[in-house]
Every structure is written in C-alpha cells, then in structure tokens.
Structure 1
Amino acid sequence: MKKTAILLLTLCATTFFYVSCSSSDSEKTNQTDVSSIGASIAIDATNEMDIKTGLFVATKASITGKPAETAPSLCATITVSQENANSYPKVFTVDYGTAGCTDNQIFKKGKLKITLSGPITTTGSKMTIERIDYSISGIKLEGTIEYTNTTTVATVPQFSRKVSNGKFTDLAGRVYLNSGIVTIKQTAGVETPFVLDDNIYEMPEGTHTVTSSTGAVLTLTVQETLIKKYSCEFISKGRLKVQGGLLNGVVDYGNNDCDSKFTYTNENGTSFNLVM
C-alpha cells in the first residue's frame, strides 16, 4: 500500500498523517504523533542548510579576507569580529534582516552567529552556529549546532555534528524539541579545499530525537550511510531507522538524486512517498 503526501508546512493536513489526524483524543495521548517524522526530516534539512552557510562564510573569509560584506551567493549581510586579521576565535554574523530575504529560493529571516575556534580544516577546530530570531520559510528555528573537526586521517576529513536545545516551531505553531549527534566524513572534494561545490559528505552513524508538544518521543538512527552533496540542499541517499510509540519503520532517501523526495515504510508494510 502506498500513499503520497507533502509535508514540512502542512504536517497534519496530509494523508501521511492519518494516524494522528483521525485517531481519537485518547489514542493520541498514547502514541507518537506521526507528524514528528516530517518534522524530523525538516529539522535535519535545516541543520544541514545552516552548516552549509557556515562553511561558505568560513571558506570565503579564508580566501578573500573580506567577510564583512554581502556575499554574492547569500542575500544576507556578513560581518566579522576578531582581535586581528589572523586571530581566533572569529565570530561571524550572517544577518538576513527583520524583513527577511530569499537565499537560493529559500526565504530566511533573522541572524546566524557563527563562531570559529580555529580553521575548520584543522583537527580539533569547532564551528558553533547559534540562531537568533531566525526562521526558514516561516518556520522558527532555535538551538545550537556544533560542527567539530575530528579528523585522524588527513585524506578523509571527519566531523561531528551535535545539535543542542533544538526547537522547531512549524507554521501551525506546533513545537518539536530536538537534539542529537552524527558523524560526518568528507569523501569528495578534499583536494580542492577552497572549492565547496564538489564536496560530498557521508554520515555513517548517528542518532537524533524529536519530542513533540505532547511529550511523544521519536528516535531516528542512521541505518544505512546517508549521502549529502554540498551542491544539493537535501540528503540524496541512505536510510534512517524510525522508532517511537506505534511507529517502527525506515525512511529511505532514494538513489542519490538531488531532490526533496523520500519514502517512509512502516513495519506493517505500508509505504508513503513523501515530498518536503
């Protein structure tokens, strides 16, 4: 059995969420709200978008030494604070304004505060991203992302991505708290450190949790390595194991195509084609 749904902005209005939307109130309190799956995928996508912005800003500053300007591929104004041109930490402010602007066809408002403890290409360096009155396409995002270089083999750069105090508020006002950590390895583009578009990243392991406003907890664990291309806004391949309440299934991101499509298959065999 297959169904098709569109999520992220219409979480409970789709056929995908028939369990939580058609169940009685008493049933809802005893099961994980399945809309948490859609929220979780959106949370992961927005985390990757913000890391992509951080990497762009850090790399641009390394090349030009002039981060205090509006970058050609960002609609935001970028400023930097540091003791001198070669010192760390460097603190960047990426300001999309209170009115917002469109960045790569995605509307953003507010600020990202990006702190580099050292060059992100150096083992041990950390990039911390804090969200300040920040939203993407009207969805409010809060929390901190820590992106730490944990490389032990120079030819295979490795990072950890840790999300703390994550809070995702959708257009209907539903709130999803989230946290987690994943391991990231760069498998392409290593030879061109100042060119980002050829970078490809793999996420071989990691877990994150999403807690809805009802207190229902959903845990998502990497089951099959996730593939993320810098040039694409979405994860293009891999699988996540989904567990929580009545949910027990797998999210499949597809065959490495750059698109927003994915599939959720529950243990009972019911499968949903989804678009974010």
Structure 2
Amino acid sequence: MKTSSILTKGTLAFLLLGALTFTACKKEASQSKEDELNTVESTESNNEAEAAYDDVFNNTMGIGAEANGESLGITAGVGIFGRIEGGDITGRVDSIRCFTITVSPNTPGVFPKTVTINFGDGCLGRDGKVRKGKIITVFTGPMGIPGSKATTTFENHKIDSVKVQGKHEVTNNSTSNNRIFTTKVIEGKLTWDSGRWVAWNSVRTVAQIEGNGTPFWPLDDIFSITGGGRGENSRGKTWGHEVIEPLFKKFTCRWISKGKMRIKYNNTSGILDFGDGRCDNKAELSINGNPPRIITLP
C-alpha cells in the first residue's frame, strides 16, 4: 500500500506537470499567433501612413511653374498639375483645374513663401483618388538649393475618406556630390470616416541615386530611402518601423519597388520585402520564419 501510495503521488505529480506544460505551451502558441496577426495589422497600418505622407511629399515637392513661375520643388519638371490632372510634361495649359495654387508673397525670389494647394470640396486625380481641403507649405527657399526647408500643415485635408493631420517637413541636406533630403512626419495622424485612426511619426533620409544629371526631367529619378519611426492605431496596437535594406522609389512608380523594412510588434518582428525593383503594389511579409504573406500596398 505504501508503495502504491508513492506511485500514485508520483503519477499525479507527473500528470500535473504535464498538464501545466501543455497549458503553457498552448498559451505560448496562442500568444505567438496573436502577435503574428497583430504584426500583420501593424504592417498594414504602417503602409497606409507611408502612402498618405508620400502623397504629401509628391505634391509639395512637385510645385513648379505654378508658383508664379518659380520652381520650388524638386520634381517640378512635371509639376503638380501634370502629376495629378495629367496633361503634358509642363503641366496644364487650359483653364480647367480641379484645384488651385496660391503663393504669398508672390514676388519671385522673396522668402519665406507660403504655398497653398486648395483641392476644395473634391478633386479627382489621375490616380483615382479624391483629394479635399488644403495643403499649406512654407518654403524657406527653392528646395533644389541646399539648406532650404519646406514645412507642411493641413486644413481639412482628406485623401478619399482619410483625413490627414500633423506636420510634414522636408530639408535639403545635399552636398556637392550627393542630393540628399531629410523628411519628417511629426505627430502625424490619419482618421477614417468610420472613426478608425493611425498615428505615425517617422524620420527618413532620401538620397537621389539616379537622374541627378537631369534636374528638370524627373522621370528618370530614383531615390534611396532609409530611416524609421513609430506608429499606433485605434485598436491599441503600437509598433516600431525601421528600414533594414534601403528602399527604392522611382518617380515613375507609385509604390516602393525594392528594399526591406522591419516592423516590430512586442517581441515579434516582421520583415516586409518590397521586391526586386518591378513596379507593383505587392510586398511579402515574413514573420518568425513562417511562409511569407502577400501584402497589398495602398
């Protein structure tokens, strides 16, 4: 009986240990799966913010002859009218415009200069997006000149159903050999009509790696992007984002086409691979060594 009692106690202890181990493993697996799904959600929210503020960069840095004959941006050879409304390389030549640009002061060469792009109650772009409200940018000088800075704020600005807020800064830190810009999104926030939101901060270094020899012809421009930041969304998810292989952005492509970014949620890291340089809206997200997921870029 004594031996049986000892065996019974040992068996019970073994079974209890096994049950605890099984429960812990199950809980750990469940937590790992939840973190993986949250990493996917964080990546998608990060991509939404990246796309919205990239649109701001494209619009403000596309201010060309529309600014009273001055070329204030860095992609001004196409101009914002050409980029959003279509038309020829020099911009619109007719009077039909779905947005207006005002410059103050409008005297060439006088800075700082405030440029307001007013999309009004709705402007359908050639990319299929409807923009509303105002983008207001203060230029300390033409952005092709080192040391110049452009600071953008927003007044009821929306891209489709998404309201864009915060501050966007671009600084020309170019040297005699390299064309380099620093971009910052400070207290950025996107809010959907449904109430969903994404808060986002980032610092990027944007270096032009091709097209430097044709400053008035941006169609051959390719930029290399590095940097990182943090994000948060209305579902309580927070994450860090960091470029681990330089991102390649072609002027002629709407999306990043090459490079890798790390999205870190809790202790889970996802690697977002933008591809081999082809222009498409697909990227692959790999998490914890699992087969990659296909992510559609906004």
Q: Same fold (TM over 0.5)?
A: yes
- Taking only aligned residues, the RMSD between alpha carbons, in angstroms, comes to 2.7
Cα 1:83–1:102 change in 2 (3 A) is closer
Shift of 1:137: 2.2
TM-score after normalising by structure 1: 0.81
For residue 150 of structure 2, what is the aligned residue in structure 1? 127
Contact 1:264 1:271 in 2 (8 A): yes
Partner of residue 99 from structure 1, selected from 102, 115, 122: 122
- SS of the equivalent of 1:64 reads coil
- Alpha-carbon distance, 1:170 to partner: 3.4
CA distance in 2, matches of 1:62, 1:99: 21
The equivalent of 1:200 in structure 2 is: 222
Structure 1 stretch displaced more, 169-178 or 218-227 = 169-178
TM-superposed deviation, 1:61: 4.5
Deviation at 1:88, TM superposition (A): 0.8
Q: Which has the higher strand share?
A: 1
1:71 corresponds in structure 2 to 81
Contact 1:45/1:235 (CA < 8 Å) preserved in 2? Answer: no
**How far apart are residue 103 of structure 1 and its match?**
4.3
Code of the aligned partner of 2:240: T
Shift in Å at residue 136 of structure 1? 1.3
Residue type of the alignment partner of 1:194 = F
Runs of 5+ consecutive residues of structure 2 not aligned to the other structure: 1-29, 73-78, 85-97
Partner of 2:161: 138
**Residue in structure 2 matched with residue 60 of structure 1 by the alignment:** 65
Q: What letter corresponds to residue 69 of structure 2 in structure 1? A: T
Aligned residue pairs total 247
Q: What's 2:42 paired with?
A: 36
Worse overlay, 228-237 or 167-176: 167-176
Amino acid in the other structure paired with 2:48: A
- What code does the residue aligned with 1:230 have? F
Identity between Structure 1 and Structure 2 (%) = 26
Q: Could you say which structure has the greater relative contact order, defined with CA pairs below 8 angstroms and 6 or more residues apart?
A: 1
2:185 aligned partner, one-letter code: V
Q: For residue 89 of structure 2, what is the aligned residue in structure 1? A: none
Partners of 1:28 and 1:266 in 2: CA distance = 12
Larger fraction in helix: 2
Query: Aligned residue for 1:88?
Result: 111
Q: Which moved more, 1:115-124 or 1:164-173?
A: 164-173
Which of these residues, 147, 160, 167, is aligned with residue 189 of structure 2? Answer: 167
Give how far 1:270 is off: 3.5
Match of 1:229 among 250, 269, 272: 250
TM-score by length of 2: 0.75
Q: Distance in 2 between matches of 1:149 and 1:135?
A: 27
Q: 1:45 to 1:70 in 2, by over 3 A?
A: closer
Q: Is the 8 A contact 2:62 2:80 kept in 1?
A: no
Q: Are the equivalent residues in 1 in contact too, given 2:198–2:232 (CA < 8 A)?
A: yes
User: Based on CA coordinates, which of the two structures has the bigger radius of gyration?
Assistant: 2
- Displacement of 1:168 in angstroms is 1.4
- 2:200 is aligned to 178
Asked whether the 8 Å contact 2:67–2:115 carries over to 1, the reply is no
Distance 1:185 1:70, change over 3 A: closer
What does the per-residue CA deviation read over 1:243-266, in whole Å, with 9 as the maximum and x for residues that have no partner?
Answer: 112531100111111111111110
**Residues 88-128 of structure 1: per-residue CA shift (max 9 Å, x gap):** 11111111112343343222111111221111111111011
